[in-house]
Amino acid sequence: MNKPYYLAYEERYKKVHSMNIAWFGSRPTLEVLKWVEEYQIPGNEVILEVGCGEGRDLIYLAGLGYRVKGVDISPTAIQYCKKLARKREVEIDLLVCDGLYLVDELGAETFNWIYSVGTLHMLVDQNHRDRFLKNIYQILKPGGKALLVNMGDGKEEYITDKTKAFEEEERNHPDGVIRVASTSCRKVNWDYHLRELKKAGFTVEKQLSTENEEYGKCMTVYLTKES
């Protein structure tokens, strides 16, 4: 059976970590910090990150005293995150998990606080995007809040050819140009994005056009699962 195109992210992590470098920088995502601050999330409640990657946001939040849990489809990224957490002497609960199967792994109505940065945009098939969003909705408790941050300026639409996934390509990295597995990406406009969020059941509290150093221009949404 062919591997899902989005598993190319695991191959990318394998390659860069074999070179003793990280894919992402160490600074946390500003959109996440603003969201946590705006809602004044209590320190005794668990914050879940879906698509935690190498753990830069999780580890930063754990260092501030928050209880955090992270899931990612990449075993290599999760192992890296575990090592980094030990080095920084912070406690993080980590699990290898496909974002399309969150309910199966974590259970329904389990979390009050969920965020995901740069994960939805890696899904190019609409049925995968719908399933991912529905899983996040289902694992939120009634009244729970979610933050999504994904590439896009809200106007340009763009989609990669998923049949090219896993093919090596040259990518710019702070350590120089490296060859890594080609990965998938899809950008949608604001009208489209709001429709898919509402289809999943979310109430959109806020939509923001933001920019960060890892992804450039992003579409950021504050979401609620109504009680």
Q: Is residue 12 within 8 Å of 181, Cβ to Cβ? A: yes
For residue 175, the model assigns a pLDDT of 67
Banded model confidence at residue 1, pLDDT cuts 50, 70, 90: very low
Q: How many CB atoms lie within 10 A of CB 92?
A: 21
Q: Is 155 exposed, middle or buried (CB count within 10 Å of its CB: 0-12, 13-18, 19+)? A: exposed
* Range ranked top by mean pLDDT from 130-144, 156-170, 171-185: 130-144
Tens digit of pLDDT for each residue in 181-215? Answer: 888 999 999 999 999 999 999 999 999 999 998 89
Q: What is the pLDDT of residue 39?
A: 98
Please check whether residue 32 is in contact with residue 145, taking contact to mean a CB–CB distance below 8 angstroms.
no
Q: Which CATH architecture has domain 6-117+126-225?
A: 3-Layer(aba) Sandwich (3.40)
Which sequence spans correspond to the domains of the chain?
A: 6-117+126-225
pLDDT per residue as tens digits for the range 111-148: 999 999 999 999 999 999 999 999 999 999 999 999 99
Residue from 45, 37, 86, 99 nearest 67 by CA: 45
For 56-100, how does the pLDDT look when each residue is reduced to its tens digit (9 = 90+)?
999 999 999 999 999 999 999 999 999 999 999 999 999 999 999
Task: Supply the DSSP symbol for 169.
Answer: E
- The predicted pLDDT at position 36 comes to 98
